[in-house]
Chains A and B, each alone.
Chain A
Amino acid sequence: MAQLLQHLINGLAAGTIYALVALGYTMVYGVLKLINFAHGDVMMVGVYMGYATAFALGRDMRSSLVGVALIFAVAMLGCAFLGFLFERFAYRPLREKPRLTALITAIGISFALSYGFQLDIGFLPGASPRAFPEIIEPKEWITIGDRDVVVWNWQVISFLIAVGLMVALQYLVFRTRFGRAMRAVSWDHRVAALMGIPTDRVIALTFMLSSALAAGAGLLYAIKDTSVSPLMGLYVGLKAFVAAVIGGIGHVPGAVVGALVLGLVEEFVVGYAASTWRDAVAFGFLILVLLVKPGGLFGRVAAEKV
């Protein structure tokens, strides 16, 4: 029983991080119908930005509240800028082209980033994983019994941050002018432009928001996992994407639910079966969900126009 509870907690904690990355996928897909394959790699770049900031701040500074805030701010702003660049120079020129071209571009960016960061030329970090500095000291917040069930502080913190960001995002999308513009663009961006909505600006802001979210999620992931490598984005990104699709891509609460479900499924596979099967089970689950509900759990299948 205690073991089950522990797996439940770990699964939820993993799920919240997937959820934050998945939200970025879902937002971009919702507005542009583009699977931003490079999202996970933007996250990886954000983690390295945070890593560099943490080292620049030094040992004492980085574990203080100001230091942590600074690390998050640098990574999130840096990634927002990166997202802006990609949108402006890689995706915007392709907006009127078939969606496949944008997907291939995204895959290209993803490869350039994840493998480019593995080169050990100049400032690039090289292929070997590095230990992320301990910016939040791990503490056991709740222990039940004789350490039967342990809840770590970072689990609670990332859960709270994830839920907070999710609520904020839901508010942004459904209660603000910007959110209304986003929804209009996602409905039909040509008509939205005719109605006086600055389409380009809305799409660029969506990209920046999603990239900043990715950086935040990446840092939470790095705090939990403590090891960062150029390939982390490829795999975390893929999982988060799977989560977004399971929930119904383009649907904000769906992404969160999908991520939590995926986190739990993976945790139970690791806990009760074999950890090496984790990836296969994640994808198998995805295929199963898609076969039963092709639009994901919450998604709708749009009627095809003839």
Chain B
Amino acid sequence: METPAIPAPEARSALPAGLRGIFPVLVALPILAALHWILSESPFAVYLLSVMGVNIILAVSLNIVNGMTGQFSIGHAGFMAVGAYISGVLSLSLKEVALSFLPVAASDQVLFTVALLVGGLAAAACGFLVGLPSLRLRGDYLAIVTLGFGEIIRVVVQNTDMFGRALGLSGIPQYSSPAMVYFWVFLTILVARRIAGSSHGRSLWAIREDEVAAEAMGVDTTSYKVRAFVISSFFAGIAGGLFAHFVPIINPGSFTFVKSMEIVVMVVLGGLGSTTGAIIAAIFLTLLPEGLRSMFNLLGTESTLAQKVDQIRMPIYGILLVVLMLSRPQGLFGTKEIWDVLPRWLPRKRRGLA
């Protein structure tokens, strides 16, 4: 890895301490409301933005394990599957239930939130299980174990009647809205950034740079690694739940090794350890196929080529990984955030924050 970017202490802010904590929320909520209002017209934009949001949550949450802690996990889609299926089943069984003291839409949203949280917690429990072997396994071996867990989850789902076996679940009520998705995006980013700057995060960075040295300095490496896994898989589960509630059907095919690798590509492209990098990479890699498709469509007659974009995407991901590792192994931003990389004219005085 490159030279360790130890997060500098938080600079002084002009805001009073009490307001500073809730300031992001005060900014985010009006933006989300506006987003929801603007987008309610175009279903494609809603879909695209939702996919993008889910990918951002996945990339940012995986970055906590892969980027900050340096534990290479390649089974993130498994946690997403847990969240998607658990919350999906819950929503299906609660479909007829309505909380009588609330209007229907509000009651739906409350139930949806409950289902999401349960899915996230189930995923977090799985993350705990996967994190435990990290007590004894390191590096490559841990990567393989996470891969194995992801595959096991997929096979279990495929063989359980409750989860619809290979056919998957259909008819899950479509509760997800862009506002809901981006609320969770916001929450994920907030948590990731708070972790990165906290003393907890510093322990994670220490583990990433040198596990043995970190342990020698008194960092309880196992407990921190397990915690990183739990937090990361909780948000992956949430992302899965959100995903399940805006696509018409989920099946085991959506959560394979390939999906895990897509998320890994996002994290690696953005820079292992950079939250803004993960966000930008997630946005870029979600929009890339759409952009390619419309570009080919614009070029005219080659409509078959436009249809092939989804096929071309995976080889492109592969080549992208190879080229990236050869030319810029630390990713676009390394462990830095976007405001550390962009030139000084960026209106920000608090430079040097990780």
Bound together: yes
A interface residue numbers (CB < 8 A to B):
35, 90, 93-94, 97-105, 107-113, 115-116, 118-119, 121, 127, 234, 238, 241-242, 245, 274, 276-277, 279-280, 283-284, 286-287, 290-291, 294, 304-306
Nearest B residue (CB) for A35: B140
Q: Quick check: B156 and A107 within 8 Å, CB to CB?
A: no
B residues near A100, Cβ cutoff 8 Å? 72, 139
B148 at interface (Cβ–Cβ under 8 A)?
yes
At the interface, is chain B mostly helix, strand, loop or mixed? Answer: helix
Knowing A280-B155, A287-B145 touch, does A94 contact B137 (C-beta < 8 A)?
no
Which of chain A's residues has its CB closest to B256's CB? A234
Nearest-CB residue, chain A, relative to B268: A104
Are A290 and B137 interface neighbours, CB within 8 A? yes
Q: Which residue among B133, B212, B318 has the maximum number of chain A CB atoms within 10 Å of its CB?
A: B318
Q: Can you show 30 pairs from A to B with CB atoms below 8 A apart? A: A35-B143, A94-B325, A97-B329, A100-B72, A100-B139, A101-B325, A104-B321, A105-B321, A105-B325, A105-B326, A108-B318, A108-B319, A108-B322, A108-B324, A110-B318, A111-B261, A111-B314, A112-B315, A115-B311, A115-B318, A116-B318, A283-B148, A283-B152, A284-B152, A286-B145, A286-B148, A290-B145, A294-B141, A304-B211, A306-B216
A108 touches B314 (CB 8 A): no
Tell me if A104 and B216 are in contact (CB < 8 A). Answer: no
Q: How far is the CB of A25 from chain B (nearest CB, A)?
A: 11
- Whether A112 lies near B133 (C-beta < 8 A) is no
The interface size bin for chain B is 35 or more
A237 to B56, CA, bound (A): 30
Q: Which residues of B contact A279 (CB under 8 A)?
A: 151-152, 155
**Top-4 shortest CB links A-B:** A108-B321, A111-B318, A112-B318, A283-B148
Complex Cα distance, B322 from A275, in Å, reads 36
Say yes or no: A99 contacts B141, CB within 8 Å.
Answer: no
Partner of A93 from the list B147, B264, B268, B326 (CB cut-off 8 Å) is: B326
Bound-state CA distance A37–B141 (Å) is 13
**Given the interface contacts A105-B322, A109-B322, A291-B133, does A274 sit within 8 Å of B315 by beta carbon?**
no
Within the complex, the shortest CB–CB distance from B335 to chain A, in Å, comes to 13
- How many Å from the CB of B24 to the closest CB on chain A? 32
Say whether A287 contacts B133, CB under 8 Å: yes
B101 to chain A, nearest CB (A): 44
**Given A94-B325, A101-B329, A280 and B318 contact (CB-CB distance below 8 Å):** no
Please tell me if B159 contacts chain A, counting CB pairs below 8 Å: yes
Q: How far is the CB of A31 from chain B (nearest CB, A)?
A: 15
The yes or no answer to B149 lying at the interface (CB within 8 A) is yes
A94 to B158, CA, bound (A): 39
B149 touches A287 (CB 8 A): yes
Given A94, A127, A277, which contacts B155 in the complex, CB threshold below 8 Å?
A277
B144 sits at the interface (CB 8 A): yes
A286 CA / B146 CA spacing, docked (Å): 11
A-side contacts of B344, CB under 8 Å = none
In the complex, the answer to whether A280 meets B315 with C-beta atoms within 8 Å is no
Closest to B70 in A: A100
CB distance from B182 to the nearest CB of A (A): 30
